[in-house]
Chain A
Amino acid sequence: MFMDFLWAFVIGGTLCLIGQLLIDLTKLNPARILVTFVVAGVLLGGVGLYKPLVDFAGAGATVPLTGFGYLLSEGVQKAVGEKGLLGIFTGGFTAAASGIAAVVVFALIVAMLFKRGDKMT
């Protein structure tokens, strides 16, 4: 049990560390980092390298955005298996549906309930 948390911490932390290195050394802006991580997740998931990491580190591998990419690749694999050609197009969005719907709804709720903030300190 404790080891699960430790590995989640180490692997998750390492993925963030790679992101920080990209920001500091290549001057990639955040939007490019996000895209890089998601696409990398799809590729790594596709060639079967990311699943072992998920099995090993749990949330340490699924919470970073590479995990979102992995989720997309898994979704496509499953959908192609079930629906064939059509699955190529439905798999990604189906797998991402809960995440995208959640982010849209929570963003709307926050926009409705909260005042926007300044940054004066």
Chain B
Amino acid sequence: MGNYYGKGTINFDNAPSVHSYASAVGPKEGQGPLADYFDYIGEEAALGEKSWEMAEVILQKSAFRSALEKGQLAETDISFIFAGDLLNQCTCSSYGIRDFDIPFIGLFGACSTMAESLALASVFVESGLAQNAAAMTSSHFCSAERQFRMPVNYGGQRTPASQWTATAAGCVVVAPRKAPPYVRAATFGKVTDMGVKDVNNMGGAMAGAAYETISTHLANTQQSINDFDMILTGDLGKVGSGLLIDLFKRDSVDIARVHADCGLMLYKISEQDVHAGASGCGCSASVLCGYILKRISEGKLKNVLFTATGALMSPTMSQQGESIPAVAHAVHISAE
């Protein structure tokens, strides 16, 4: 059984394994620097579907099927699936999973969902409640734009701090300890609201939550940044990453040495016109399930603190003048 350190951190004594993982992305992500690592790259944004929502459903299905296939698992081998996405009612997750005969636990953590679902799946496997548990999330640029911002073909101008919602999905299957990567510990973050109101600066709204969760995790597990070869944040982008580094500087910690951000890895930032980088649940999900877990499996990365960050932005509340709360969840994934 896992140990509760208090203040949100759980230690996994048995360290469950990441049994298999897969990613699925859209065409823009398929032109990015990580293209070679994805299991599926769609040719067009609609992926042959009539609506953006159904296109996102296809991404989840595809990531899930690939993860099963790569892990040589059948649908019936999965005890629970933890999944969520950005849309109201976690639409794409429930529609993505409705064709499968698997108990479904829907989550909303905005862009932190990959870490949230992975941590929960690990808790279930660690405690013996599940044999194999899947964790999955997705986002789609167009489905997110039409719900949170403007119709896709509206001629608005994106601000320099704005980020591009990734059209991507990722799925991880967690199983009892057998081979690396292992899930060693996790910290569930608190809702952190730094009073940021700019809905076009998600990285800025989330950096405080990332700082809070990473600091808490390190304090609770009595580790320092030197114990990790990578502290990977979800989608802080340029603005949020810079801010996170500044926040740690105040504690005399040079996190820049080990810090990487999925939002800065998914696209060629200068060429693909994404302004401050990538965002969306699918951003950290596809970077983790495409690139990072592979690097850990190969032993090229030993200890990664995967900290997915979510801006819990509600257009309704923003219109009411409220600031944007954020949350970050951290999962320690290790090759040892």
Interface residues of A (CB under 8 A from B): 23, 27, 30, 116-121
Tell me if A's interface is mostly helix, strand, loop or mixed.
Answer: loop
CB within 8 Å for A30 and B156 given contacts A119-B142, A120-B28, A121-B28: yes
Q: How far is the CA of A118 from the CA of B167 in the complex (A)?
A: 11
Q: Of residues A117, A118, A121, which shows the largest number of chain B Cβ atoms within 10 Å of its Cβ?
A: A118
Least CB distance, A18 to chain B, in whole angstroms: 15
Chain B residues bordering chain A, tally (CB within 8 A): 18
- CB of B45 within 8 A of CB of A118, answer yes
Least CB distance, B240 to chain A, in whole angstroms: 19
Q: How far is the CA of A60 from the CA of B156 in the complex (A)?
A: 22
Q: Which residues on A sit within 8 Å (CB–CB) of B157?
A: 23
Q: Which residues on A sit within 8 Å (CB–CB) of B27?
A: 120
Indicate whether B141 reaches chain A with its CB closer than 8 angstroms: yes
Indicate whether B253 reaches chain A with its CB closer than 8 angstroms: no
Q: B44, B150, B156, B198: which contacts A120 (Cβ < 8 A)?
A: B44
Tell me the chain B residues, 140-162 only, with Cβ under 8 Å from chain A. Answer: 141-142, 145, 150, 152-154, 156-157
Q: Which residue of A lies closest to B156 (CB)?
A: A30
Interface residues of B (CB under 8 A from A): 26-28, 44-46, 141-142, 145, 150, 152-154, 156-157, 167, 198, 273
- CB of B198 within 8 A of CB of A117, answer no
- CB of B153 within 8 A of CB of A120, answer no
- CB of B152 within 8 A of CB of A120, answer no
Q: Which residues on B sit within 8 Å (CB–CB) of A118?
A: 44-46, 141-142, 152
Given A23-B157, A120-B27, A120-B45, 11 other A-B contacts at CB below 8 A? Answer: A30-B150, A117-B153, A118-B45, A118-B46, A118-B142, A119-B141, A119-B142, A120-B26, A120-B44, A120-B167, A121-B28
Q: Which residues on A sit within 8 Å (CB–CB) of B142?
A: 118-119
Q: Which residue of B lies closest to A30 (CB)?
A: B156
Least CB distance, A21 to chain B, in whole angstroms: 13
Q: Which residue of B lies closest to A110 (CB)?
A: B153
Q: Which residues on B sit within 8 Å (CB–CB) of A121?
A: 28, 273
Least CB distance, B160 to chain A, in whole angstroms: 10
Q: Which residue of B lies closest to A23 (CB)?
A: B157
Least CB distance, B296 to chain A, in whole angstroms: 30
Least CB distance, B266 to chain A, in whole angstroms: 14
Q: Which residues on A sit within 8 Å (CB–CB) of B273?
A: 121
Q: Of residues B46, B154, B167, which shows the largest number of chain A Cβ atoms within 10 Å of its Cβ?
A: B46
Q: Which residues on A sit within 8 Å (CB–CB) of B154?
A: 30
CB within 8 Å for A27 and B198 given contacts A117-B152, A117-B153, A118-B46: yes
